[in-house]
Chains A and B, each alone.
Chain A
């Protein structure tokens, strides 16, 4: 009896299941990113440069890698490590970190990952985030902690028209709904010419 209970291993349930992600044919696509493991790495990167299979970026607010293994530098001594790889990494990473002037915290379940892509992706972000998402101001590879509406999010530009968002799990329904509002309320793509009539 007891053994039967114990053998029923708990399954992961995404906070996004059951939520509809806004999409608009042609110019906006929002999807969940299958990030399985996340770690916050703090401290001295010099000793841990290769810890995650990507070189830890040293320039502030820069990301390296892909969703298979990515490192986002979010603070002077802070990296967010993301991977879609499901083989458990926590204890191996902890072993590497132990004894260095660094610390690693498993936050795999704290966030959810969203991919926001399409021609109007930057405009969808601009709807509720005060940052400038022009490519010159926020180039590919840039990442930052910021806000979307009233929720804290991490925005990482993975391509000219693609952004990876990391959102705390309880804020995810809010952010998903707000993204939907943004899509519905987007201004026209480009200069629309004011009606003008000739005398």
Chain B
């Protein structure tokens, strides 16, 4: 039995002792404890050092609002989680927890020197560091002096450095009614809402349902104990098949159209979790109706010296004693502005804690009761003492020794989710807080989160909200209500500072970010008026707890300084998430191999076996080159290029986008989409098509074959496949719905095997049947249907290399077999397999552009020398009007040219700027830039494509490519480096 454990009572399992460690100390607790309650039962209050001043801090709360007790849990194997609230960490055997933000130890922290230097760390100090001291130079001061110091000293936990070994699940869910919070109001709402068979999800962040009612050991509900009422409610809900109960699940985000993010903790509470099961699960829930039953949070009091370990919220102390049988001290002083503070004091007294004194800090209505407590004047609170634990509190001149100070400043409704839903908050003088006003979504708030306190009222409010939600779903349920033995109390409390004015002792407002009353005052003195500005300047409410315990006090203090009412000052925005959510939960399955789909062609396995090096092209993996033993990329590409030009090469072009455009108006449709003429394209012929956007700029290109009068086989770039289809659908559906034309993506229907080079025809000839392959019968830019390897093919005679070539389209499942048959033939002719890198070099030698490389979204057909493709006589096509805009025809636009370096061995850098001067002065505008640059093994020299202002008129001129090592002289030439007449192409 530990020193501070009660002899009986509480919801812990005293038959199951549990051993855990905190900062290396081995301690014991019971199953059912939280880390916080077990520490308290061991007399440990000091759990952390504060953010800025490294002040010793103790547990302040018992729940989600805990601002001080942030700890790191280490589950081994890289599984460290920082910044967990000790109040929410369930105890299990072997739990290893550590405090944070201290060195070398919690009791002896060198960072505490910051506390002595606190005048340096006043409000906005962070921003002030950007400016200071002039003799160093402002920027230097920041990078050399302040940033390193601040980075080391400030902060909370350390993020783990090893990859997260855990597995995270996610799911979508739909329900009629989602209930956030399973306290008395939430349970009542769930009972009502689910009565008529609706789909209901009820989530609560705690392991047990019941909320603060789990702490209540005295009140009776309809004649039964609170805990029996909870058990009955849970059993009733469990028996309803359409109710899903999610304990350990935080509703952290309320998004548009009743969409919710819930984070479920699945295994963190287990000593030996099944490694296969997920650690956490993200629920993305769409609900027809939402009931928010998120409760209220007790406010601390803002008085001098209010942050020592041992100073905690009154209801938290009561929770530790009643729910966990853990006594937070031996001799307590109660500072209260509510009636619930007295309840806590009475309960603790009954459990064996001496109540040394009670100070009611309410200015107007100190409650007088014959409770036998000694009274002191709350207005005279001067300071507290005690280094690592509070030892006394001083009222005026009287110092009262104590090891526990209870604070009850009032109850703040948890309106976070309501506010996230964009609901309007309204100030309530009666509640002394903001409460939900007008709902923005199909939502009902119930109980304490809307300022309805008192057990009877809360439960009945829950019943009503559940019934209203059910009725809104079309399933009304009978009205229900209960009676309890709870009595009328005041929950209102006070706002702002209390006690004596803070002189030397600081009064903390935001415990997690170390913001004091002085900081808020300084901010208003320095001219900040908007609460949003004060928040950012002082960082109040900006810590991981988002000011759950501090916001209203900060507001009241600022309102006092600027002489406005709280509603006039306004309220800062509540943002998702309500409590921190792990990156693992948000990432879910989207990590590693499943981060994005990896698309592979039917021929990919062959390329892998051959040792191909792959590159990513969109989601596709494409073989980049096929190195042989001892070859680097350049050697492999050189060999592949030479082999294609001297014999042939085989290339996997399956990733090309393909769209089957069908219907009687197919030609008309293409005529309107592409710059080219299509109506005059004969069946069995192909044409190189160029697609513009409405601005007249090239966005895609590809060969289009006419398979039948009403069937076109359109190809697009690999990356453009989806975009082009969407654009076409958009035009078809919105601009030309009258066209009888349909679009079907066939990108994945066809595997495409390109065979290019002088031997191409010889290679495919033995495999093809039903097609006359002779140059006369099957000329360049033609397409035929027949068989290859016994299966249907669409055989294109096209070239992206400048060599005579074919592209064999076969249904994708046959792709691998056909490829292997082609390869067997290719080997006989000394051909090679080549990849995308070689393809790029070969096409550059021939001056073929790649959309996205030679074009950048600002190039017209004229700019890249493709005017010949534009159907001049056409009435219209997408982008046509833009091509005659004045700035589109102005002389001096950048035009595609070739560049030859004076030194044939120098390969330019793609993206490099081009100038007329070898060493241009600062501010010189570039004439253009290099778009492609390669070593051409076939030409025995480097080549480059570029876009240069007025480039075609500059042929023969010498320009320069300035580089850090000096300018590189280049000659402007035609972009076609080989076979300008196309003799090879047509061979």
Contacts and interface: CB of A to CB of B under 8 A. Distances in A.
B221 to A, nearest CB: 14
Contacts of A10: 788-791, 810, 814, 817-818, 821
B501 interface: no
B208 A110 contact: no
Nearest to A184: B276
A199 B790 CA distance: 79
A174 B594 contact: yes
A132 B598 contact: no
Interface in B660-679: 660, 662-664
Given A5-B766, A5-B824, A193-B234, A171 B11 contact: no
Contact of A13 (B602, B744, B824): B602
Interface stretch (B72-80, B243-251, B408-416, B920-928): B243-251
Given A185-B169, A187-B281, A43 B791 contact: no
A106 B749 contact: yes
B238 A191 contact: yes
Nearest to A11: B817
A127 interface: yes
A168 B812 CA distance: 11
B533 interface: no
B45 interface: no
B173 A126 contact: yes
B789 A110 contact: no
Interface stretch (B223-231, B372-380, B680-688): B223-231
Contact of B245 (A128, A184, A193): A193
Interface string A101-137: 1011111111100000000000100111111101001
Interface on chain B toward A: helix, strand, loop, or mixed SS?
Answer: mixed
Contacts of B740: 43, 101
B597 A194 contact: no
B917 interface: no
Given A2-B765, A127-B170, A107 B663 contact: no
Nearest to A192: B245
Contact of A196 (B234, B660, B663, B748): B234
Chain B interface extent, by class: 35 or more
Contacts of A194: 182, 204, 207-209, 234, 245, 247
Contacts of A187: 169, 171, 264, 281
Contacts of A104: 662
A170 B658 CA distance: 14
Contact of B813 (A14, A123, A134, A168): A14
Nearest to B200: A191
Contacts of A173: 598, 600
Contacts of B662: 42, 103-105
Interface in B205-235: 207-210, 217, 225, 227-228, 230-231, 234-235
Contacts of A190: 241, 244
Nearest to A174: B597
B237 interface: yes
Interface in A171-199: 171, 173-175, 177-178, 181-182, 184-187, 190-199
Nearest to B276: A184
A1 interface: yes
A151 B281 CA distance: 21
Interface residues of A, number: 66
Given A123-B171, A181-B594, A185-B278, A6 B247 contact: no
Contact of B664 (A101, A130, A168): A101
Interface string B812-835: 111011100100110000000000
Contacts of B286: 130, 132
B601 interface: yes
A198 B227 contact: yes
Given A13-B817, A106-B749, A129 B172 contact: yes
Contact of A105 (B208, B744, B811): B744
Given A185-B170, A195-B208, A13 B664 contact: no
Contact of B769 (A6, A107, A192): A6
A183 B209 CA distance: 28
Given A178-B589, A196-B230, A5 B13 contact: no
Interface on chain A toward B: helix, strand, loop, or mixed SS?
Answer: loop
Given A6-B767, A105-B660, A170-B599, A196 B231 contact: yes
B594 A5 contact: no
Interface string B268-286: 0000000011100100101
Interface in B440-476: none
B742 interface: yes
A149 interface: yes
A6 B790 contact: yes
B766 to A, nearest CB: 4
B600 A170 contact: yes
Given A10-B791, A40-B744, A181-B594, A109 B766 contact: no
Contacts of B11: 197, 199
B199 interface: yes
B293 to A, nearest CB: 15
A13 B603 CA distance: 11
Interface in B121-176: 167-174
Interface in B617-666: 620, 660, 662-664
Nearest to A130: B172
B369 interface: no
A105 B746 contact: yes
A162 to B, nearest CB: 20
Given A107-B746, A132-B174, A199-B9, A184 B167 contact: yes
A174 B765 CA distance: 37
B364 interface: no
A197 B748 contact: no
B32 A5 contact: no
Nearest to A129: B172
Interface in B775-799: 788-791
Given A10-B818, A137-B174, A170 B663 contact: no
Contact of B602 (A2, A9, A15, A149): A15
A130 B284 contact: yes
B813 A109 contact: yes
Contacts of B887: none
A170 B238 contact: no
Contacts of B244: 190-191
A174 B281 CA distance: 20
Contacts of A107: 744, 746, 749
A169 interface: yes
Interface string A20-51: 00000000000000000000101100000000
B225 A42 contact: no
Contacts of A5: 766-767, 789, 821, 824-825
Interface string B160-199: 0000000111111110000000100000000000000001
A197 B821 contact: no
A86 to B, nearest CB: 13
Contacts of B230: 196
Given A10-B789, A171-B599, A199-B217, A177 B810 contact: no
Contacts of B568: none
A178 B284 CA distance: 17
Nearest to B269: A195
B167 A109 contact: no
B118 to A, nearest CB: 45
Given A10-B791, A105-B662, A196-B209, A134 B817 contact: no
A130 B286 CA distance: 9
Contacts of A105: 660, 662, 742, 744, 746
20 contacts: A2-B765, A2-B766, A5-B766, A6-B769, A8-B790, A10-B791, A15-B813, A43-B663, A103-B710, A109-B813, A123-B171, A126-B173, A127-B169, A137-B174, A177-B593, A184-B169, A187-B169, A191-B238, A197-B32, A199-B9
Given A42-B742, A132-B174, A194-B234, 4 more contacts: A7-B790, A123-B171, A185-B281, A199-B217
**For the complex of A and B, 4 pairs with smallest distance between CB atoms:** A185-B169, A9-B790, A10-B817, A103-B662
